[in-house]
Each structure stands twice: as C-alpha cells, then as structure tokens.
C-alpha cells in the first residue's frame, strides 16, 4: 500500500504543477507544464532514444573500465605496500579534485567529445571503487593499512 501512496503523491504534484502553470500564466520556457513535457517526449521519442543509447554506451563502458582497472590496481596495492604508499596519495589528490575542474582540460586534450565524456565518467566511478579496496586480514587491535579505515570487507 505505501507504493500506492507514493504514486498518488507524485500524480498530485504533477496535477498541482499543471494547474499552477495555467492559473499563474507562467511562461512555458521558464517551467513548462507536465503536459508540454510529455508532448515533447512523444514528438521527439526517436531522437531521445538515440541519445539514450549513446548515454548508456558511455556509462556502461566507463563503469566496466573503472571496475576492471580499479580491481587490478587494488590487487597490486594489496600485494605491494610500496606501490600502495606511492600511488594512494596521487589517487586521493585526484579524487578530491572536482570533476568540473578536470573536465575542461580533458576536453582540450581529447579530440572526441564522446571520449572526453567517457574519461570523466570513468574518473567518477574509478575513485569510488579504488578507495573501497582495503580488505587485508587484520590482527586484533591493528589499524587498517589503507586510507579508508572505516570499511571492512
């Protein structure tokens, strides 16, 4: 029954939005009503599905690449303390740098906008995975060797 309540609330908000749009004589380009949005989706459906296919391709490719590379790097970190201590500060610095600051540089360095988007999506997913790797067995009372000490596998 709670799902039905959610649907009712969402539909009520859309109806309220539509009513307020017409009663307040709002400009369509500021906040179009739900009916206009649905009409636009219907009339541009083929174009939107083509864009969705490109977006899904980039997203899934970036996810797959980030999983493969971060798992490989985590395995290397697991077996080599030297590599872990050498590379982890670099990964932390890159992780805390906002992607919006890196994206223009990537766009300049890479010719294809799709490749630049793929690299940005990869970076966002990659750092989420790489900082979750620390699964070494620990002795009682011993601190975690990785930077993310709150996680345990």
* Interval 81-94: pLDDT, tens: 898 888 888 888 88
65 and 39 part of one domain: no
59 and 131, same domain (yes or no): yes
Q: Which comes out higher in pLDDT, residue 130 or 69?
A: 69
User: Are 61 and 83 part of one and the same domain?
Assistant: yes
Longest dimension (CA), the chain: 68
Count of the separate structural domains present in the chain: 2
The tens digit of pLDDT for each residue in 32-83 reads 999 999 999 999 999 999 999 999 999 999 999 999 998 888 888 889 889 8
Domain that holds residue 21: 1-43
Give yes or no: residues 144 and 90 share one domain: yes
Which of 138 and 37 is assigned the larger pLDDT?
37
Residues 38, 64, single domain; the answer is no
Residues 101 and 123 in one domain: yes
Those residues with Cβ within 8 angstroms of residue 146's Cβ, 6 or more apart along the chain or in another chain: 77, 84, 88, 133, 134, 136
Contact 77, 133 (CB under 8 A): yes
Encoding tokens for residue 92?
């932390």
Please tell me whether residues 38 and 96 are part of one structural domain.
no
Residues 15 and 88 placed together within one structural domain of the fold: no
Q: Within 10 A of 91 (CB to CB), how many other CB atoms are there? A: 18
Q: Are residues 81 and 147 in the same domain?
A: yes
DSSP E strands, 12-79: none
């Amino acid at each position: 029954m709670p799902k039905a309540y959610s649907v009712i609330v969402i539909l009520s908000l859309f109806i309220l939005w539509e009513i307020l749009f017409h009663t307040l004589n709002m400009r369509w380009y500021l906040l179009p009503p739900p009916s206009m949005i649905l009409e636009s989706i219907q009339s541009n459906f083929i174009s939107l599905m083509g864009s969705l296919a490109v977006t899904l391709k980039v997203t899934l490719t970036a996810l797959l690449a980030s999983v493969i590379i971060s798992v490989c790097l985590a395995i290397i970190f697991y077996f080599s303390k030297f590599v872990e201590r050498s590379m982890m500060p670099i990964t932390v610095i890159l992780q805390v740098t906002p992607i919006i600051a890196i994206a223009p540089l990537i766009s300049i360095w890479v010719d294809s906008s799709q490749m630049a988007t793929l690299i940005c999506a990869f970076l966002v997913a990659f750092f989420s995975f790489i900082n979750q790797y620390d699964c070494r067995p620990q002795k009682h009372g011993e601190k975690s060797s990785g930077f993310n000490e709150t996680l345990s596998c």
